[in-house]
Structure 1
Amino acid sequence: MSSGLSRRRGKQSTAAEDTSGTFEEAGEHKIAYDPNDVADSSKNSQVPVLTLMEEVLLIGLKDKEGYLSFWNDNISYALRGLIILELAFRGKIRMVNDPARKRFEFPDRLIECCDGSLTGETLLDEALKLIKNDTQHLSVSNWIDLLSGETWNLMKINYQLKQVRERLAKGLVDKGVLKTERKNFLLFDMATHPIQDPTPKRNVTSRILALLTNRNFILEYDEKYFPQSVKYKYLRTICLVTGCCAANVLENILMDLNFDSRDNAFIRADEILNQFSEYPFVDKGSSVGVGMNLFTEINKEIDTDQPGDLVLEVVAAVVSVFSKMDSII
């Protein structure tokens, strides 16, 4: 009798220890979450510190003033497309595997959630939950429209992501890249976010210029922000350039080039938009002799990282949407 009671007390004690361990962990992080919803931390090194959206926002921001151009109408829509790309690169979404999809243009093909675990990035998780919980599959262009609020469907008007630029800027503040200041604009005060750590923007600029101006494209790595362990390094850089084109911010980093180099860089960016808006990607060469090794590196990366055709079709679909936006030249 006493031994049975002892065993039961022993089990209760063990359970209490397990519970206290979980409680301490929750208390340390000060949040409640389902462990099954959180991405494996071992995959963190395969994802860069800055998302594609944050990188494009950095290129668009004025370094000292800390705000975007008031005349830029394209960046909001482009940021939604970059959210779709980032989710695809993180293995969260893909095309619906339906043979009939090949009858449709890439932007009109349907996507689905294939991994609902959280990424830790607020905007990505918000968009992922919308895609995961939607009962019907929608196309790439549909999702970009919905996340941008460009829809007449009153049932889906709440799919719009609000204050994306401001939230991205605050995320960069949390990561130590930007800082927050308040400046007076005529009759009102506005929060601005000047550059605090110039290293990330310098690295992003260097990658873009290497892709658009060098005969052979060689990536430069940064141990903190863009380590060599990151997956899809070349594809991410392709999407970074196409995102800058769509957001109408590419000129910000090309203005210091001489006229011929700047013109060739825009031509090369236009070529990249066209070549990566379909899948399989086809090497059509470069009319300006830039990035001659690009497709060799892309094919090596696809063989190594193995994203799969369904993910690469999402990349092509978003780039196709970008290519149909305002001309970059």
Structure 2
Amino acid sequence: MSGLQRRRVNKSESISSQDPVVNDETDGEGKRVAYDPEEAKLRDDTTTPKLNLMEEVLLMGLKDKEGYLSFWNDNISYALRGCILIELALRGKIQVLNDPARKRFDVSERLVEVINATKTGEVLLDEALNLMKNDEPLTIANWIDLLSGETWNFMKISYQLKQVRERLAKGLVDKGVLRTEMKNFFLFDMPTHPITDTSCKEAIKRRILSVLVSRNMQLNYNEYFPSSVRFKLIRTLSLICGAYGANVLENVLSSLDYEKRDRAFSRADEILAQFSQFPFALDKQTETGISVNLNKEVQEEVVSNQDASLQLECVAGVFEVFSRMDTLL
């Protein structure tokens, strides 16, 4: 006879046995419901913006009414993988390996390690973080190549993240920024994602233009990018460099006259060169007379986040990859 016996439990015992999963949350009818406390914590976190960096870059590339990217853009897929590493670094998930010998190498050739493997709540970020957690430390450039599928190592070809642009677009649909429509392209139907919330995209454009056009930079905040966001300036610079690397920055500057647009591109070149080294070259003054207060503001942000210097070093490494993308692709 089996030594296992069934024990009858009353209702109160059965509820208490589920306490690790079911919390004292109720629905509209007063019934207890189950929820994930980690998910609730992520949802209430105001230190990260509502849109991640990849979504912002993709949104800059999408045509507003048509809802798709230019068919001639070969850069954006690779640049989005770099943005994934930046986003993970700014969220405190990865950093450059703290090895004194690393300074002998270019910043993009320094090893990356995972320092916090907890979930971010973003599927793409969690997928990339899981790959990095289960592998040995590799360089920044190596990880961007692997996530893009640009590798000759057949043992790691499965590291390629699939359908990144479509998944990001669907995320923007879930967040109410885009909508999904089917459009016929002669021989086949393809889902497109026209913009629904134009104020979101315009706010992102204004944030970029405040750095690339205005003499004194001043960021504007909204529900998608509140003032409580950590690394507000570094995130904005990452957006500019990511859009530059993805070849979608011109979409933001297209409304400017020729002279202003040319100066804005020159300022973007300056920023990319200035911040693709670490420590950042904050003693280098701009020659364009645009966003002259940028260095001071970034210096204050870096000083207030001294414990994150290795994370910012990872950001600089991705910028260096963006600065030589024309020779990579």
Same fold (TM over 0.5): yes
1:55/1:42 Cα in 2 relative to 1: closer, same or farther (>3 Å)?
closer
In 1, distance between residues paired with 2:202 and 2:260?
19
1:114 aligns with 2:115: yes
- Retained in 1: the 8 A contact 2:263–2:288? yes
Question: Deviation at 1:41?
Answer: 3.5
| CA deviation vs aligned residue, 1:138-163 (integer Å, no higher than 9, x gap) | 00000000000011111100000000
Alpha carbon RMSD of aligned pairs, Å?
2.3
Runs of 4+ in structure 1 over 6 Å off? none
| CA deviation vs aligned residue, 1:87-124 (integer Å, no higher than 9, x gap) | 00000000111111111111110001000000000000
- Retained in 2: the 8 A contact 1:231–1:305? no
1:40/1:287 Cα in 2 relative to 1: closer, same or farther (>3 Å)?
same
Q: 1:64-75 maps to which residues of 2 (within 5 A)?
A: 64-75=65-76
Q: Supply the AA of the counterpart residue of 1:183.
A: K
In 1, distance between residues paired with 2:170 and 2:325?
27
Q: Supply the AA of the counterpart residue of 2:240.
A: V
Q: Look up the SS of the partner of 1:44 in the other structure.
A: coil
- Retained in 1: the 8 A contact 2:21–2:34? no
In 2, distance between residues paired with 1:191 and 1:310?
40
Question: Deviation at 1:304?
Answer: 2.3
After alignment, is 280-289 or 237-246 more displaced?
A: 280-289
**What is the match of residue 150 of structure 2?**
150
Q: Look up the SS of the partner of 2:49 in the other structure.
A: coil
- Retained in 1: the 8 A contact 2:42–2:120? no
**What is the match of residue 273 of structure 1?**
272
In 2, distance between residues paired with 1:19 and 1:94?
40
**What is the match of residue 180 of structure 1?**
180
1:51/1:240 Cα in 2 relative to 1: closer, same or farther (>3 Å)?
same
User: TM-score w.r.t. structure 1 length?
Assistant: 0.90
- Retained in 2: the 8 A contact 1:39–1:117? no
Question: Deviation at 1:64?
Answer: 0.2
Question: Deviation at 1:232?
Answer: 0.1
- Retained in 1: the 8 A contact 2:50–2:225? yes
**What is the match of residue 230 of structure 1?**
229
Q: 1:1-329 maps to which residues of 2 (within 5 A)?
A: 16-22=14-20, 24=22, 40-41=41-42, 44-134=45-135, 136-222=136-222, 224-283=223-282, 284-326=284-326
- Retained in 1: the 8 A contact 2:42–2:121? no
| CA deviation vs aligned residue, 1:68-94 (integer Å, no higher than 9, x gap) | 000000000000000000000000000
**What is the match of residue 4 of structure 1?**
none
Which structure dedicates a bigger proportion of its chain to helix?
1
After alignment, is 61-70 or 38-47 more displaced?
A: 38-47
- Retained in 2: the 8 A contact 1:46–1:229? yes
Q: Look up the SS of the partner of 1:265 in the other structure.
A: helix
In 1, distance between residues paired with 2:169 and 2:148?
18
Q: Look up the SS of the partner of 2:189 in the other structure.
A: strand
Question: Deviation at 1:191?
Answer: 0.2
The answer for unaligned runs of 5 or more in structure 1 is 1-8
| CA deviation vs aligned residue, 1:261-299 (integer Å, no higher than 9, x gap) | 000000000000000000111131111100110011111
- Retained in 2: the 8 A contact 1:48–1:226? yes
Q: Look up the SS of the partner of 2:325 in the other structure.
A: coil
Question: Deviation at 1:307?
Answer: 4.7
In 1, distance between residues paired with 2:117 and 2:248?
32
1:185/1:307 Cα in 2 relative to 1: closer, same or farther (>3 Å)?
farther
**What is the match of residue 28 of structure 2?**
none
In 2, distance between residues paired with 1:28 and 1:184?
43
In 2, distance between residues paired with 1:270 and 1:156?
34
Matched residue count: 313
User: TM-score w.r.t. structure 2 length?
Assistant: 0.90
- Retained in 1: the 8 A contact 2:213–2:260? yes
